[in-house]
Copies of this chain bind each other. A is one copy, B any other.
Amino acid sequence: MSNTKHDFRIETLGTPSIPSPIKLSERLDDYIANYVSEDHRIIYDIETSAAKRPKALDPKELLEPAGPRKQVYFDGPKVKAAIVTCGGLCPGLNDVIRSIVMSLWYHYGVRRITGIRYGYRGFIPEFRIPDMELTPETVAEIHQKGGTILGSSRGHGERTEELVDSLERMNINLLFAVGGDGTQRGAYNITKELRRRGLKIGVVGIPKTIDNDLSFIEKSFGFETAVSVAVNAVAGAHVEAHDAINGIGLVKVMGRESGFIAAHTALAINDVNFVLIPEVPFDLDGDNGLLAHLERRLERRGHAVILVAEGAGASLMPTSETTDSSGNRKFGDIGLYLQRRLNEHFGQKGIETNLKYIDPSYLIRSAPANPNDSLYCARLGGNAVHAAMCGKTGMLVSQVNGHFVHVPIAMAVAQRNRINPESALWRDVIDATGQPSLMKN
């Protein structure tokens, strides 16, 4: 029932005219899957009203489903593909790399696949970073490891001209860019520059956002694994809090702009008493502030667990406004800040407390994907290859309303995905924790 107008149309490099090397069917009931029809669409906006007849949908507002087409644009054996992984680590990166390589190789006969090392930086000649050749053999078992065999780093996505120069010089036809907001902005600018230069190079993004904060990305790979590890940290914090006199377990998880990890973690384990996220402002002081609520909780129960997303309470801290090398705003550390403020508060009041602060961020990022994330990454990577081989460009693969779809990069990066404090998700978090719905005075 949103009023925003979407335009989900996908750019292509040209008309696909080569028969797909994948042998599928065009009829139903033969027990063989069909090619995806170019006419097929998925409805994006599925919330409506019982009272009024549903609006007629504009074809632009329908999503293009992912999957293999009957005709492809590129001839596999002539293609040179590149894969780059950028930004912070996230469970499932190696699964995605593996599945792109396997699909290019076995489905489309692509034999030249280059791994760009350490993010976009690996494209920039001045850093003299050698590439890594990728074959089914080199990637066969990488999904069992956390991280990315290509390495990663932040930044350099804004050096569009140099990146495109490199793509040209390396004779790359397809670029798979695995990364978050900054990475996809870079990919979008590359697409524009390629179009300007008239180069037939496809750019397909695989959205990586452990915080789940990219728009039109219903479910980001690695997110479930991240929640699992965060749950484990909260379980430890609960034990520490419970077994000490006025024990306070304070856990900080990722989430600069959105508190999805914190919210899902709190719902998955029933031991969190206060969840603090960037989307919902809160006060520390005052009778309705966190400190007062926490004090009352300790009086009543003798222990408490606080789960804070790294971007929460930003306005409370003296922030330095510098940006990191990806252009992200840098934050003061809300975990350390709360630790200090809580200890000061109870110290001044002469209340003995035992605060244990746990920051599991690196353990979350570096974990190997759990089976459900592995499965998801495998399908994401395969669908990215299908799209790229058909000449789709400037797009991301994503899952929306349970379907794998194509989304224009421009739309995905236009706005952050954030928790709506009025949504069922946040309502259920409030229910589960019992925390006051808004700790503002």
Q: Give Cα A243 to B40, complex, Å.
A: 40
Of the A-B pairs whose beta carbons lie under 8 Å apart in the complex, a sample of 26, sorted by A's number, is A30-B422, A32-B437, A34-B422, A38-B50, A40-B47, A41-B49, A46-B403, A56-B56, A89-B240, A89-B243, A98-B270, A103-B431, A144-B144, A146-B239, A148-B243, A218-B402, A227-B375, A228-B371, A268-B371, A268-B378, A269-B371, A269-B374, A358-B362, A379-B428, A401-B402, A402-B402
A244 beta carbon closer than 8 Å to chain B: yes
**Residue interface mask A222-252, B partner, CB < 8 A = 1:** 0010011001110111011011110000000
**Residue interface mask A410-431, B partner, CB < 8 A = 1:** 0000000000011110111011
Q: Give Cα A359 to B362, complex, Å.
A: 10
**Residue interface mask A31-71, B partner, CB < 8 A = 1:** 11110001111110011111101101101001000011000
B67 touches A59 (CB 8 A): no
A118 beta carbon closer than 8 Å to chain B: yes
Contacts A144-B144, A147-B243, A242-B147 given; indicate if A421 touches B267 (C-beta within 8 A). no
B438 touches A32 (CB 8 A): yes
Contacts A371-B227, A424-B67 given; indicate if A54 touches B53 (C-beta within 8 A). no
Contacts A67-B424, A432-B378 given; indicate if A41 touches B33 (C-beta within 8 A). no
Interfacial chain B residues near A147, Cβ < 8 Å: 239-240, 242-243
In the A-B complex, the 7 residue pairs with the closest CB atoms: A33-B427, A239-B366, A147-B239, A268-B371, A236-B366, A268-B375, A147-B243
Q: Give Cα A307 to B186, complex, Å.
A: 37
**Residue interface mask A374-417, B partner, CB < 8 A = 1:** 11001100100000000000000000011110000000000000
Interfacial chain B residues near A423, Cβ < 8 Å: 33
Q: Give Cα A107 to B431, complex, Å.
A: 8
Q: Give Cα A38 to B49, complex, Å.
A: 9
A256 beta carbon closer than 8 Å to chain B: no
Q: Give Cα A273 to B289, complex, Å.
A: 46
- Stoichiometry (number of copies): 4
A280 beta carbon closer than 8 Å to chain B: yes
| A332 nearest CB across to chain B (Å) | 17
Contacts A232-B363, A236-B363 given; indicate if A430 touches B40 (C-beta within 8 A). no
Interfacial chain B residues near A145, Cβ < 8 Å: 239
Q: Choose among B24, B33, B280, B366 the residue that contacts A240 (Cβ–Cβ < 8 A).
A: B366
B31 touches A421 (CB 8 A): yes
Q: Give Cα A102 to B430, complex, Å.
A: 13
| A380 nearest CB across to chain B (Å) | 11
| A288 nearest CB across to chain B (Å) | 13
Q: Give Cα A427 to B103, complex, Å.
A: 13
A43 touches B33 (CB 8 A): no
Q: Give Cα A147 to B303, complex, Å.
A: 14
Which residues of A (279-329) have their CB < 8 Å from a CB of B? 280
Interfacial chain B residues near A227, Cβ < 8 Å: 371-372, 375
A80 beta carbon closer than 8 Å to chain B: no
B240 touches A382 (CB 8 A): no
Q: Give Cα A422 to B29, complex, Å.
A: 8
| A315 nearest CB across to chain B (Å) | 15
